[in-house]
Amino acid sequence: MAHDALGKVVELKRELLDDDDEAARRQRGKGKLTARERIALLLDEGSFQEIEGLRRARHAGLGRADHRPLTDGVVTGWGTVLGRTVFVYAQDFRILGGAVGEAHAEKIHKVMDLAVAAGAPLVSLNDSAGARIHEGVTALAGFGGIFRRNAKASGVIPQISVMLGPCAGGAAYSPALTDFTFMVRGISQMFLTGPDVVATVTGERVTMDELGGADVHNRLSGVAHFAYDDERSCLEDVRLLLSMLPANNREQPPALPAADPVDRRAEGLHELVPADGNRPYDMRAVIEEVVDDGFVLEVQEGWATNVICGFARLGGHVVGVVANQPSVLAGALDIAASEKAARFVQTCDCFNIPIVTFVDVPGFLPGVGQEHDGIIRHGAKLLAAYCNATVPRMSVIVRKAYGGAYIVMDSRSIGADLVLAWPGNEIAVMGPEAAVDIIFRRDIAAANGDREAVRQQKIDLYRAELMHLSYAAERGLVDDVIDPADTRQVLVRGLEMLRAKHADLPMRKHGNTPL
């Protein structure tokens, strides 16, 4: 009797693991992998442990009572990535289009609860047609349970959404609630209302990719953090990102032995940054010269490119890097850049990742559009993110730091632990030209003869008295003015000194910062 029962279970599991049916062939014909193939690429070989694989829908109305396939369209369980536990769910488009029904959602709820209980990251592999219409409102309630768990797990465990198919309507809010979103060109789309609805309501004609494809969300909307040309490279970088994140908010990021000497002098920095503050350069080259092996995993690389955010290592330890990009908008902060950097700083603080900020900022981007769209409110997000961050924070003033943008870019006054500056630093309320035009407007206007010569004289005076290289250091706003070539080793030593930093925020439910 027991032997017969075991045989039935074996047969069911053989059916469960069948990845070579007609639906699978159609999936591959679209250039897509199956749910189980994706899990195999994400997790270490042989480590996946499936749960609720034999789950079926409780019922299916509208004449579909006999259509209750195994798994109910989602594969759930856990495994390891580089030996560390990771929970995963993968929607199976072969089964009911991966649509979310009651049982499907309950399986996701369970694996999310397990991830939080075990204190391990959760990766969702999304490929779904949306809510299962024939199950009625219970499908929508299932989405609500997912969203609630996303929100409660936020800042507790890393949550990563990998978009490997369509994600329409309310379903798009789950990726929006997670920490990182990956997309693949040609197969990933996210939108609240599809092309047909858009055409009906607005008359605009767009394709699914034009409306919500990988490049749209990686370059225009900022919804996606990473975009790839194929699933394999996408999942490889999910593994890479996981290798730089702690398992939960109670742990430190994983450290590695540093192959790059911690005392290496970064001599190349002398040539990378022009002395002329008006000349652009690529800040990426500066960061790569400083960090271990010149490697940075940049986040939201295609969006708000006037600021750079990414993960790197210093002396084998993970750091989050935030930097102005002088080659785009002169490195000025605008609405999008403020939002991008604020979310990244907040993410680093959630997961105990020290923050290193490279500053070369002329100010906030001026303009009627920026003011009317709320640059004050959005800039305040970055200010609040830094002020609330309790992780080690170090900043390097590479060249100029003017006005409110100087304060916002993790200055000493908002709590940076260690502030360094290069000899050519210009820290001031504003650039000397603009300052002189305000302070000495009457003197210049009253000048007899060459007004431009008088103006230049006043600019030289302003620089000499208020912008000399040690002005901020004399007032305790900069800890040291250093040789650029020493930047790497000073940051590594500072990081080591701050390793045991402990800082408490006031007792409260949460802050009420601008959204």
The CA angle 28-29-31, to the nearest 5 degrees, is: 65
Cα–Cα dist 307/329, whole Å: 10
Annotation says 404 is catalytic:
yes
Which stretch of DSSP H or E encloses residue 493? helix 487-497
User: Active site residue: 53, 119, 170, 194, which one?
Assistant: 170
Annotation says 316 is catalytic:
no
User: Active site residue: 316, 404, 415, 424, which one?
Assistant: 404
Closest CA to 487 of 262, 184, 335: 262
Tell me whether residue 306 is exposed, middle or buried, using C-beta atoms within 10 angstroms of its C-beta: 0 to 12, 13 to 18, 19 or more.
buried
Cα distances (angstroms) measured from residue 500 to each of 29, 243, 252, 479, 505: 53, 22, 11, 20, 16
| Beta-carbon-side half-sphere exposure of residue 414 (alpha carbons within 13 Å) | 20
Annotation says 98 is catalytic:
no
Strands 426-428 and 393-402: parallel
User: Active site residue: 169, 212, 213, 363, which one?
Assistant: 169
Token pair 């198919």 is at which residue? 165
Closest CA to 38 of 92, 108, 106: 92
DSSP string, 121-179: -EEEEE----B-GGGTHHHHHHHHHHHHHHHHHTTTS-EEEEE-SEEEGGGGHHHHHSS
The CA angle 140-146-148, to the nearest 5 degrees, is: 105
Annotation says 405 is catalytic:
yes
User: Active site residue: 330, 342, 405, 416, which one?
Assistant: 405
272 φ, ψ (degrees, to nearest 5): -80, -30
* C-alpha dihedral, 295 to 296 to 302 to 303, nearest 10°: -160
Active-site residue set: 169-170, 404-405
